[in-house]
Amino acid sequence: MLRRRLWTGLALAALLAGGAACAQSSNGFRLPVLNGSAVIPGPQGLKLVTVAGGLHHPWGLAFLPDGRLLVTERAGRMRIVSASGEVGPPLQGLPEVDARSQGGLLDVVLDPKFADNRWVYWSYSEPGPGRSNGTSVARGKLSGDRLDEVQVIFRQQPKLASTAHFGSRLVFARDGRLFVTTGDRLFHRDLAQKLDNHVGKVVRIEADGRVPADNPHVATPGARPEIWSIGHRNPQGAALHPATGVLWTHEHGPEGGDEINVDEAGLNYGWPVITYGVDYGSGRKIGEGSAKPGMEQPVTYWVPSIGPSGMAFLTSDRYPGWKGNLFVGALRGQLLVRLELDGRRVVKEERLPLNEVGRIRDVRQGPDGWLYLLTDQADGRILRVER
């Protein structure tokens, strides 16, 4: 039985007066700290420290080498948060974003060689003809308060009239290739099983957008050569396993059936042919059941749904006994899920309720070894999880 512990204590209602400060971690990274910032007591002896607030539905988070943070807001803004927690003005230079419903400015990552080339990558819903749009990826060089030399390096095809299920997580592999998750756009789920489109897929591209020569469908007639894997619904979590370097993803199911997958080249993850979820409202079965030869089974799944978003493997010693665990944020569940692993098998799940702070959109391990969270609220926050 999953352990559930109620939080104790109350959140401080507002930031107290006082100047900013910076703490130094063991690896030299300057921890963002606000003197007098709100600290919320959490489960298992955790405390949630507010690094920055006043963000409008933040979606993605990246750590700059100098201790500052890059954060996206779904409405179409990217901001720099200083090492003292000060939220800067929107960066200039971003392309047009179709910020409707689930669409907008979404994930952000740094180039593995950012210190030399200054490239920043982001995913977003790019407007198309009429009311159509699609998941796109752009990059630009960070220069002060703007992004220069902006290039769109990937566009989901086809663009569709939908404001939902963009996927959009970005992960650089160890070989420098970029993984991009894309959703099924909600009303177009059957496209997730077809190779002639980027709908409901994980794609793999070079850092400049070119197609890697060893992608699994480069020589498949009629297939989009960027495709890495198929059969996905709405993958909003992705991370490399720290030991193997293999991509892990998670995705939203319909009513139930959220799942985590080990995402490998050329494989089919089943949606919408197989799923552990059912159709919204009606409870009707989707597809052919929960298993079929030639389609992959998830590492784990959730029924009922927790609404997973954001995912990180813990590689630090900050949390005794948790090194090597996988952490997943939850929107609907308003919690942080801790998974103990034995290879590709989940041996224990613990749910850490975060009801005091709301929907968890992203989970990242910082260079200081602490876990950082984004809350998907109109007054969203960056939180550091301490123990």
What's the average pLDDT block by block, 10 residues per block, for the chain (387 residues)? Answer: 32 29 44 54 87 97 97 98 95 98 98 98 98 98 97 98 98 98 97 98 98 98 98 98 98 97 98 96 94 98 97 97 98 96 97 91 98 97 95
Q: Domain extents for the chain?
A: 20-386
Torsion angle of alpha carbons 20, 26, 29, 35, nearest 10°?
-10
Q: Give the model's pLDDT for residue 76.
A: 98
Q: Which two tokens stand for residue 200?
A: 């409901």
Catalytic residues: 165
Backbone φ and ψ of 365, nearest 5° = -90, 125
Contact partners, residue 182, CB within 8 Å, separation at least 6: 135, 156, 166, 167, 168, 198, 199, 200, 201, 202, 203, 232, 235
Contact partners, residue 261, CB within 8 Å, separation at least 6: 248, 249, 250, 251, 269, 296, 298, 299
| Residue written as token pair 């992960």 | 171
Q: Give the model's pLDDT for residue 32.
A: 52
CB-CB contact of 71 with 57 (8 Å): no
How far is it, in rounded angstroms, from Cα 93 to Cα 150? Answer: 7
Q: Give the model's pLDDT for residue 38.
A: 67
- Fold that domain 20-386 belongs to in CATH: Neuraminidase (2.120.10)
User: Quick one: how far is CA 148 from the chain centroid?
Assistant: 24
pTM for this predicted structure: 0.91
CB-CB contact of 25 with 369 (8 Å): yes
Q: Give the pairing type, strands 178-181 and 170-172.
A: antiparallel
Cβ neighbours, 10 Å, residue 29: 19
Contact partners, residue 61, CB within 8 Å, separation at least 6: 69, 70, 71, 72, 108, 362, 364, 372, 374, 382
Q: Give the model's pLDDT for residue 44.
A: 82
- The length of the chain in residues reads 387
How far is it, in rounded angstroms, from Cα 311 to Cα 171? Answer: 11
Q: Give the model's pLDDT for residue 42.
A: 75
